[in-house]
C-alpha cells in the first residue's frame, strides 16, 4: 500500500529539526518533491526509490534529475545574489566615514595609537 508523502510529518520535521533531515519514501510525482521543499522549510531532503521508472515505477528518473539540477541552479543564483548584496552593503559601510562601524574602528584605532604612545 502506497501512502505517499505525509505532508504533516514533513512540515513538523522542517519545524523541529535543528539540522537537515532526510524523509524516506512516498514520492510518486515531481509535485511531491516540490511539496517537500515547500513545507520542509528547506531542511528536509527526500529519497526516491521504487517510484522511479528505472526501478519499475512511473516517475521518470530523468525528470527527477532535471528537477534537482533546477533546484541547485536556483539555490546558486540566490546565493550569488545574497553575496553580491552583502558585498555591496559592506562596501557602502566602509566607504561611509559616518557609519557606526567606521566610527567604532576609528575609536579603536585612536585607542591603539594612545596605547603605543604610552608604552
In tens, the pLDDT along 10-26 reads 999 999 999 999 999 89
pLDDT at res. 91: 61
In terms of Cβ atoms closer than 10 Å to its own Cβ (0-12, 13-18, 19+), residue 25 is middle
Which residue positions in the chain have pLDDT lower than 50? 1
pLDDT at res. 3: 76
Whole-angstrom Cα distance, residue 50 to residue 57? 6
Which of 67, 77, 58, 66 shows the shortest CA–CA distance to 35?
A: 67
pLDDT at res. 99: 65
pLDDT at res. 94: 58
Counted residue by residue, the chain has a size of: 119
Whole-angstrom Cα distance, residue 61 to residue 66? 9
Q: How far is CA 30 from CA 17, 55, 67, 70, 94, in A?
A: 24, 16, 8, 12, 46
pLDDT at res. 93: 61
Q: What's the whole-model pTM score?
A: 0.63
Amino acid at each position: 500500500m502506497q501512502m505517499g508523502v505525509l505532508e504533516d510529518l514533513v512540515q513538523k520535521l522542517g519545524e523541529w529539526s535543528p539540522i537537515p533531515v532526510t524523509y524516506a519514501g512516498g514520492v510518486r510525482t515531481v509535485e511531491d518533491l516540490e511539496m517537500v521543499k515547500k513545507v520542509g522549510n528547506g531542511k528536509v531532503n527526500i529519497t526516491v526509490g521504487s517510484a522511479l521508472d528505472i526501478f519499475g515505477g512511473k516517475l521518470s528518473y530523468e525528470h527527477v534529475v532535471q528537477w534537482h539540477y533546477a533546484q541547485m541552479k536556483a539555490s546558486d543564483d540566490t546565493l550569488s545574489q545574497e553575496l553580491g548584496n552583502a558585498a555591496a552593503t559592506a562596501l557602502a559601510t566602509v566607504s561611509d566615514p559616518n557609519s557606526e562601524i567606521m566610527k567604532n574602528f576609528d575609536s579603536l584605532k585612536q585607542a591603539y595609537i594612545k596605547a603605543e604612545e604610552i608604552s
